[in-house]
A and B are shown apart, each in its own frame.
Chain A
Amino acid sequence: MKTGREILLTAIVGFIFMFALPLLLSHYTLTVLTAFAILALSLGFVWGYGGILCFGQAAFYGLGGYAFAVAAINTQMPWLGFLAAILIPAIVAALLGAMMFYGRLSDVYMAVVTLVFTLILFKFMNTTAGEAYRIGSARLGGYNGIPGFPTLTKPWNPTDYLYNESLYYFAFLLLIALYLIVRLILKSPFGRALVGIRENELRAELMGYDVRLLKTVAFTIGGAIAGIAGCIFANWAEIITPNMFSLGQSSEIIIWTIVGGAGTLAGPIIGAGVLGYLKIALGENSGLNNFFIMGIVLIAAVLFLPRGIFPTVQSLLSRVSLGRPRQRISRRRRSRAG
């Protein structure tokens, strides 16, 4: 019953935002910010709750985009592409996760492996300009990426493309749905065990939880969500390039998550929205270099707001409002990880 109320409340808040935001920004800008938010949600789950610091979440994001484009071109059925954008990153995440967690790699080594994995994809995709690199009728296109694939249509009318406003509402509904799904996962025994593992892996094992399996499953879910984000991005940009796999992209995801607040779900979403918008806004007037600003933001966040903006604001508010402190699983591990 309590869960039911929370779902309802979240959905209402989500809908309010969904309809209020277009008053401030164009649907078009909001769509890509929503894709970023979904991407941040995926890392927020994997890192904030699973305790798995993945330096290569961009890999699944890019795989989602490419899986969508390739499947859509080959089948001319974009919704099959949507399915592929979930399944392929999930399968790849499952394999990579199994390799890491069953191999018992520690934090740093995991960071290296995920980073290297992303780099390999990035380098490989950049070399696929030749005609030989095609999957079915889809040319991978190398550095220039894949333009001109069919995008998502309204399921009841295959000639009516999801475009601009309709794409935005679709993306935002997905965001709300994914947020709720992740919430429910975290409330389930699996989710609680996951948080338990984050807090103390050995203890969880001694309780009888198969840490390797649970982490692999969590990593797979994260990969699938990132894949969905990649698919939304592909539909928005109508072109995908290997840049989706770049180190810059990977770092942005981590920055969104840490600035927003790892260990919460709303934090990364807000971080992605705000910083993603900042990046677009900065392009309208070139004064300071964008990397410079992002870098300073990240350093400042680590030094001064190690818990992130959202949790800090939240605890300030709860202190001010004298309300009962929300029962929240705080994320302490990050500050003492290592």
Chain B
Amino acid sequence: MDYAVVVIIEVLYAISVLALISAGLAVIFGMMRVINLAHGEFLVLGSYAAIFSNRYGVPIYLAILVAAPLAGAVWGFIVERLIVRWLYGRLINTMLATWGLSLAMMGAFVMIFGNTQTGISAPIAGFTVGAYQINGYNLFIIAMAIVVMAGLYAVMKGTRAGLVARAAMQRPDMAQAFGYNTSQVYMWTFVAGSALAGLAGGILTPIFGAIPSGGANYIAKAFITVITGGASVVSGTLASASILGLVYQIFTFLSTSVVGEIALLIAAVVLLRILPTGITGRFLRNRV
């Protein structure tokens, strides 16, 4: 029984991690049809921001929840202005340019921080479920995933900014006619997605630490989750994160984490073969 509880928590945790690392990418892809292949490095950037602001005296929760997304947002702004905005509407070219950005950022991390793993300790103590110890921070991650997803839903559905963004993405001409500057909308959407990436990086720091090459692991999973989910930001990400996270964690428990990861990848390919436009391309259409 205790074991079942522990496994359920671990499954929820795996789903939450997938949802968190994918959220920023999903916003940018779902709204703008841009795939940011440097997304993984944006997360690592968030991690470094959290670690170093914490080292210089910022309280840990502020470092994770404020400094990290801020770093993501500022960097996202710079990247959008310098690179991405020249490439809108050219999906493949943006992918290539951001892939270059990913390599460059990774190289820059190495030059600045060196090739070591740095990290911060989890601010929450472990707790006991029956005979088992559980990482208390896992629950924080689950909670944050819920907050981020609910927040995204609320912003997209309930606020004017969300409405304008959705309108501008679907009918740029229309939004322009109503007096909204679509270039601005695109920019802020990209910044928002980048901030989410930074936030995810910050939140995950106590678990994974920060390492220059860490982005590759994030982007592969985020990319796969988002594409499998399809174009709907919240429901797509949630649906695919749930399926893939479940598959991953079940196989990890049954065998090893490698089998888990390979099972996740195979599940994604099978899903794409059945549903070539992602889960929300077929079901849950017209959802946010």
Contact = CB atoms under 8 A, between A and B. Distances in A.
A/B: CB atoms within 8 Å of each other: yes
Interface of A: 53, 99, 103-109, 111-113, 115-117, 119-120, 123-124, 126-127, 247, 251, 254-255, 258, 288-303, 306, 334-338
Nearest to B91: A338
A246 to B, nearest CB: 9
Contacts of A290: 107
Nearest to B38: A295
19 contacts: A105-B272, A108-B227, A109-B272, A109-B277, A109-B278, A113-B272, A115-B220, A119-B220, A127-B258, A251-B99, A288-B111, A291-B103, A291-B107, A295-B101, A302-B97, A303-B87, A336-B90, A338-B33, A338-B90
- The SS class assigned to the B binding surface is helix
Contacts, number: 133
A295 B93 contact: no
Contacts of B261: 123
Given A258-B96, A302-B93, A334-B92, A116 B265 contact: yes
A123 B258 contact: yes
A278 to B, nearest CB: 14
Given A294-B100, A298-B100, 15 more contacts: A103-B273, A104-B276, A108-B91, A109-B227, A115-B220, A119-B265, A120-B262, A124-B258, A251-B103, A292-B106, A293-B107, A295-B103, A302-B93, A302-B100, A337-B90
B132 to A, nearest CB: 27
Interface string B269-282: 10011001110000
A247 B216 CA distance: 8
Contacts of B277: 106, 109
B62 interface: no
Interface of B: 33, 35, 83, 86-87, 89-97, 99-108, 110-111, 216, 220, 223-224, 227, 258, 261-262, 265-266, 268-269, 272-273, 276-278
Nearest to A120: B265
Contact of B96 (A105, A116, A119, A298): A298
A89 B35 CA distance: 29
A120 B264 CA distance: 10
Contacts of A296: 100, 104
Given A120-B266, A123-B261, A298-B99, A291 B104 contact: yes
Contact of B110 (A53, A99, A289): A289
Most buried by B among A111, A120, A127, A289: A289
A334 B99 contact: no
Contacts of B83: 299, 303
Contacts of A298: 96-97, 99-100, 103
A254 B107 contact: no
A113 B271 CA distance: 11
Most buried by B among A104, A111, A334, A335: A111
Given A123-B261, A292-B108, A334 B91 contact: no
- The SS class assigned to the A binding surface is helix
A297 B104 CA distance: 9
Most buried by A among B104, B110, B276: B104
Given A108-B35, A109-B272, A299 B91 contact: no
A295 B224 contact: no
Contact of B89 (A103, A119, A251, A338): A338
A53 B94 CA distance: 13
Contacts of A334: 92-93
B97 A292 contact: no
B91 A302 contact: no
Contacts of A113: 269, 272
A303 B86 contact: yes
A297 B100 contact: yes
Given A117-B269, A123-B261, A338 B103 contact: no
Given A113-B272, A116-B269, A123-B261, A107 B104 contact: no
Contacts of B102: 295
A335 B276 contact: no
B87 A302 contact: yes
B159 to A, nearest CB: 29
B273 A292 contact: no
A292 B93 contact: no
A291 B97 CA distance: 14
Contacts of A251: 99, 103
A294 B104 CA distance: 7
Contact of A292 (B86, B103, B227, B269): B103
Contacts of B220: 115-116, 119, 247
Contacts of B223: 112, 115
Given A298-B99, A337-B91, A337-B93, A291 B106 contact: yes
A255 B102 CA distance: 13
Given A108-B91, A117-B269, A123-B262, A289 B111 contact: yes
Most buried by B among A127, A295, A306, A335: A295
